[in-house]
Amino acid sequence: MTNDGAAARPLEGKTALVTGGSRGIGAAIALELGRLGANVVLTYRSNEAAAEAVAAEVRALGSECLATGGDVRSEADLERIVEGARERFGGVDILVNNAGTTDDKLVMRMGTDSWNDILATNLTSAFIATRLVLRHMTRARWGRIINISSVAGVMGNAGQANYAASKAGMLGLTKSVAREVASRSITVNAVTPGFVETDLTSKLTEEQQATILTQIPMGRFGSAAEIAPLVGFLATDGASYITGQTFNIDGGLVMQ
- The residues binding ligand NDP (CB under 6 A) are 20, 22-26, 44-47, 50, 71-73, 98-101, 121-122, 148, 150, 193, 195-196, 198-201
| Closer of 26 and 169 to ligand NDP (Cβ) | 26
| Closer of 199 and 237 to ligand NDP (Cβ) | 199
CA distances to 101, 104, 186, 195, 197 from 45, in Å: 11, 20, 28, 22, 20
| Closer of 61 and 155 to ligand NDP (Cβ) | 155
What is the DSSP secondary-structure string of 155-184? Answer: H--TTBHHHHHHHHHHHHHHHHHHHHHGGG
SS3 189: strand
CA distance 63 to 31: 10
Nearest approach in angstroms of CB 195 to ligand NDP is 5
Nearest approach in angstroms of CB 115 to ligand NDP is 15
Nearest approach in angstroms of CB 155 to ligand NDP is 12
Comparing C-alpha atoms, which of 236, 246, 251 is closest to residue 6? 236
Active-site pick, 115, 163, 195, 221: 163
Nearest approach in angstroms of CB 234 to ligand NDP is 15
Q: Are 204 and 212 in contact (CB under 8 A)?
A: yes
Nearest approach in angstroms of CB 121 to ligand NDP is 5
Give catalytic status of residue 241 as yes or no.
Answer: no
CA distance 209 to 204: 6
Q: Which residues are catalytic?
A: 163
